[in-house]
Amino acid sequence: MSVSNNNNFSKGTDLAVILLYLIMVAVGIMCIFMVEYNPNLDWSNSFLTAKTNFSKQIYFAIFCGFVAIFILLIDSKLFTALANISYVLGILLMLATFVLGKNINGSKSWIPIAGGFNLQPAELCKIFTALILAKFISKPETDFTKLKSHIIAGIMIALPAVLSIMQHELGLALVYSAFIFAMYREGLPPVILVILLSFAILVIATLLLEPTTLAIIITAIAGLFIANMIKRFKRNKNNILIVLAIWAVSFGTVRFAVPYIFNNVFECYQSTRIYSMIGKEYDCSLNKKSASSTSEKKTKKPDDYNVKQSKIAIGSGGFWGRGFLKGTQTRGKYVPEQHTDFIFTSLGEAFGFVGTFTFLALYLFFLFRLIRIAERQRSTFSRVYAYSVVGIFFFHIAVNICMTIGLFPVVGIPLPLISYGGSSLLTFTTLLFILLRLDADRQMVLR
């Protein structure tokens, strides 16, 4: 709903989204406070000296507020103008981390900047990628029904993703798959979605079943198809060839691609986490990366400690929750990384199902609101960008919450606007407020 206001500054800006944004940031600060709470600490003092995470997060939020206002004051044409150059800059920054990078939590993706703060270019690249994707699709010469356009867009997205993997940030790399929403909306054939889904099922099946069993099943299905075709169409060479090709690809995936990815692309701990999700043990001695790094132990037990404690925290909340500051899992610091990736657990423990449901309902409303905004744009640029934002937010929320409740392997993805972290908060603020700025000018056709 466009709320018209006399004030020129906020004219056309979607206040509902801003309100939801403020609520989310406030909830986030409250959650971080719950994680850190300790009755013996002098709060006012630690707040002023910014020694605690929650007070730092408040400073981040204030800073982000200025950034938001600044963005709302920028002319929206600037975003289309800067889309290409910012993307290039982002990629250069990511490459720079390989030289300047600082190691935080095992991933070398941070560039130290003044004042003890660190910048993660991969986070910023999400924004730049969204902009360049919007720019590319909205170009009049681009026909997004063509495969060529799909491939170009795919490369734009894959480049920062690959760089993220090289920085050992699998979670951030996965986020780039969120652009599939925008691409789908702009004409990506659904077949591709179906193929991707089938592929995902195949990968999961590979993990769950014995390779030989699965190979027999795939072969049997292919055999049945061919037998069926011979009966019905006599001999249609093409169809049979397609079936055979699919069979070959599936078989290759099962026997070669998946083991290769697990043993050569993933880190040992990542493979272990994925295996532990389905209750299996991964033999790290197969992993090339761990084999090369001698310091690491060759084999590890499935480390599902995080997920176990996280589920205990959320589950112990029950229906009504244990109450504000009364969660024992949170107070006893049983959930590792609770203030960042596992922040959802403190909410679940303190406020129970009522709290988590309300939270998810708010977020669902938020996402639907963004989709509504996306659909009311006249310019393709704004719409593509809006769907990119929806995709990124949704992917973060879904993956983050799913991993805390044991539906997804643990990957380091923060919960947007809630998790502690300046980079993350700044990225999401920027993403969102650029969208709001574009939305305010939705009558304008941007190129």
Partner 1 sequence: MSMYNSNRGGIIQIIIGVIFFLIIAQLISLQIFSSKYVLAANNNAIFRKIIYPDRGIIYDRKKRALLENTISYDLVVIPNEAKAVDTATLCDILKIDKAEYSKRMIEVIIKNSRVKSGIFEPFLSAELYAQLTENLYRFPGFSLSERSIRSYPYNTAAHVLGYVAEVDVNFLQKHGEEGYEMGDYAGMTGLEKQYEPILMGQRGVKRYLRDNKGKIQGPFEKGQFDTVAIAGRNLFTSMDVEVQQLAEKLLQHKIGSVVALNPKTGSVIAMASSPGYNPNLLTGNQRRKTIGRLLTDTARPIYNRAIKGQYPPGSTFKPMGALIALDEGLITPSFGYNCFGLYTSCGDPRKCEHHNAGHAANLQLALANSCNSYFLQVFRMAIDNPQYHNAKLGYLKWKQYVNSFGLGRKLGIDLPSENRASIPDTAQYNKDFGGAKYWNSCYMLTLGIGQDRMTATPLQLANAMAFIANKGYYYTPHFIDSVEEEDEVDKKLLANFRVKQQVTKIPTEYFDIIKEGMHGVTVFGTAAFIKVPGHEFCAKTGTAQNPHGKNHSLFVCFAPKDNPTIAVAVVVENAGFGATWAGPIAGLVMEKYLNDTLTKESKTKVDYLSNVDLMPEAIKAWYVRNNKTEMLTPIEYNNDELADIWDMEMLSETAPIKVKVDTIKKLDTAAPPVQPVAPPIKNKKTKEQALNPKMKKKKLNNKKINVSI
Q: Please, which residue, 185 or 339, has the CB nearer to partner 1? A: 185
**Distance between CA atoms of 442 and 386, rounded to whole angstroms?**
11
Q: Please, which residue, 102 or 376, has the CB nearer to partner 1? A: 376
Q: Please, which residue, 314 or 343, has the CB nearer to partner 1? A: 314
Least distance in angstroms from the C-beta of 419 to partner 1:
17
Q: Please, which residue, 203 or 325, has the CB nearer to partner 1? A: 325
Q: Please, which residue, 64 or 347, has the CB nearer to partner 1? A: 347
Q: Please, which residue, 118 or 142, has the CB nearer to partner 1? A: 142
Least distance in angstroms from the C-beta of 330 to partner 1:
9
Positions touching partner 1 (CB under 8 A) are 38-40, 137, 143-144, 181, 184-187, 309, 311-319, 326, 328-329, 331-334, 348-349, 352-353, 356-357, 360, 363-364, 367-368, 371, 374-375, 380, 383, 387, 390, 394, 398, 401-402, 405-407
Least distance in angstroms from the C-beta of 321 to partner 1:
9
Least distance in angstroms from the C-beta of 213 to partner 1:
27
Least distance in angstroms from the C-beta of 9 to partner 1:
29
Least distance in angstroms from the C-beta of 258 to partner 1:
24
